[in-house]
């Protein structure tokens, strides 16, 4: 009975993230459009785009290798698994015990590795530019991300997200400087990892300025749909991660009643709305930075994460 229940709630969580991801992207786009006094596309437009892409033929470059065709599936599965590991409405789900934060980073890192390979596979100039920029960003973002994880893990005493969330939701956490720093660092990382302004612009048409988009320029049809869906999942993952680590209130526990689970789900939607709105406001109020300014930006995240870890060493209460 319990096993069935666990599988059901985990299944619900996995389909929830998959189903919600395009909506979050659509919501952010809508808010951005409204802030620019535009009407903007409908909230459900990302779903329509995915369906449209799924129906379209795949156009492959003549010199595309088997890797190019396989990679969208690899990226998608890696990202989906990673997104399912992050507690959303409920904590302590089946999968949360199988992998910790470091595994999530590893999954996303592998997805990125394959994406960069795919960018170079066909041999176009733009793909190469995109891959080289992506790897430059990754080489700075990944260590920063790990150190952020360490600082949070040291405070919570575990790298398991379920434990972290539980600890953060308890009274034991208190007000800590290091947590604040980790929060800022994680936010910067989330912007960089999701190709948002000021690091990359998800809405640009200028190939020469692209990072993520340049890598996927050669993709079409269902391949592109999978990659787009992965990007949307990744955004949801990071927003959920921030919500679960820093705003863990109202999360249902594994053995909670259905009513608690529904309440948790509603609260989770509320958190997504607030964070998505903040993302849109931030993106509207800032220009994209120069490519060589990105290392400084990510360096700031790295330093903050390091400081957070150090503070924790210096004093247990900071």
Partner 1 sequence: MGILDSIPHVNAVSSHRPWPRAVVTEAGWQAAIDRLVGGGLTLLGFWGEPAAVHLAMLDGGSAEIAVVTYACTAGTFPSVASSHPPALRLERTIHDLFGLVPTVAGDLRPWLDHYVWGKSYPLSGRNASRDVQPYQFLPAEGEALHQVAVGPVHAGIIEPGHFRFTANGEHVVRLEQWLGYTHKGIESLMQGASLEAAAKLANRTSGDSAVAYAFAFARAAEAALDIEVPRRATCLRALMAELERLANHFGDIGAICNDASFALMHAQTGILRERTLRAADAAFGHRLMMDVVVPGGVARDIAPDGIPALRTLLAEIKKVFPRLIELYDNTASLQDRTVTTGIVKADYARQFGAGGYVGRASGRNFDARRTLAYAPYDQLSFEVPVLEAGDVNARVWIRIREVEQSVELIAQILDLMEPGEIRTALPAGRGACEGLALTEAFRGDVLVWLRLDGELRVERCHLRDASWFQWPLLETAIEGNIIADFPLCNKSFNCSYSGADL
Least Å distance between CB 99 and partner 1? 35
Q: Which is nearer to partner 1, 196 or 312 (CB)?
A: 196
Q: Which residues contact 221 (CB under 8 A, 6 or more apart)?
A: 53, 54, 56, 57, 58, 59
Least Å distance between CB 296 and partner 1? 11
Q: Which is nearer to partner 1, 38 or 48 (CB)?
A: 38
Least Å distance between CB 205 and partner 1? 4
Using CA atoms, how far residue 264 sits from 140, 168, 233, 238, in Å, is: 35, 16, 20, 18
Least Å distance between CB 161 and partner 1? 32
Q: Which is nearer to partner 1, 34 or 55 (CB)?
A: 34
Q: Which two tokens stand for residue 36?
A: 């620019």
Q: Which is nearer to partner 1, 92 or 198 (CB)?
A: 198
Least Å distance between CB 32 and partner 1? 8
Least Å distance between CB 92 and partner 1? 40
Q: Which residues of 33-61 are buried (b: 16+ CB within 10 A; e: fewer)?
A: beeeeeebeeeeebbebbeebeeeeeebe
Tokens 């395009």 map to which residue? Answer: 22
Q: Which residues contact 159 (CB under 8 A, 6 or more apart)?
A: 100, 101, 102, 149, 153
Q: Which is nearer to partner 1, 206 or 258 (CB)?
A: 206
Round to whole Å and give the CA distance between 116 and 134.
7
Q: Which is nearer to partner 1, 77 or 209 (CB)?
A: 209
- The H or E element spanning position 95 is none
Least Å distance between CB 287 and partner 1? 4
Q: Which is nearer to partner 1, 29 or 176 (CB)?
A: 29
Binding residues (CB under 8 A) for partner 1: these are 32, 35-38, 125-126, 128-129, 132, 197-198, 201, 203-209, 284-293
For Cα atoms 243, 266, 46, give the angle at the middle one, nearest 5 degrees. 75
DSSP codes, 58-73? P---TT--HHHHHHHH
């Amino acid at each position: 009975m319990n096993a069935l229940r666990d599988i059901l709630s985990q299944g619900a969580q996995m389909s929830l993230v998959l189903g919600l991801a395009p909506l979050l992207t659509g919501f952010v786009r809508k808010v951005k459009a409204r802030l620019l006094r535009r009407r903007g596309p409908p909230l459900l437009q990302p779903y329509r785009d995915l369906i449209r892409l799924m129906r379209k033929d795949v156009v492959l470059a003549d010199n595309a290798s088997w890797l190019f065709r396989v990679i969208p599936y690899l990226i998608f599965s890696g990202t989906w698994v990673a997104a399912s590991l992050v507690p959303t409405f409920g904590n302590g789900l089946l999968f949360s015990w199988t992998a910790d934060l470091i595994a999530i980073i590893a999954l996303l890192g592998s997805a990125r590795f394959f994406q960069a390979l795919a960018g170079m596979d066909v041999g176009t100039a733009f793909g190469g530019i995109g891959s080289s920029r992506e790897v430059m960003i990754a080489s700075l973002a990944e260590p920063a991300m790990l150190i952020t994880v360490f600082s949070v893990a040291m405070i919570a005493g575990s790298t398991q997200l379920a434990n972290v969330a539980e600890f953060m939701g308890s009274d034991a956490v208190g007000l800590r400087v290091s947590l604040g720093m980790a929060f800022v660092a994680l936010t910067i990382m989330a912007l960089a990892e999701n190709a948002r302004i000021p690091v990359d612009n998800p809405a640009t048409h200028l190939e020469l300025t692209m990072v993520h988009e340049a890598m996927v320029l050669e993709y079409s049809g269902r391949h592109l749909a999978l990659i787009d869906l992965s990007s949307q999942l990744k955004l949801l993952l990071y927003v959920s991660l921030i919500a679960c680590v820093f705003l863990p209130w109202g999360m249902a526990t594994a053995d909670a009643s259905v009513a608690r689970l529904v309440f948790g789900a509603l609260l989770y939607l509320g958190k997504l709305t607030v964070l998505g709105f903040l993302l849109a406001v931030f993106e509207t109020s800032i220009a994209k930075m120069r490519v060589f300014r990105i290392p400084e930006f990510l360096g700031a995240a790295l330093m903050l994460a390091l400081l957070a870890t150090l503070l924790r060493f210096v004093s247990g209460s900071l």
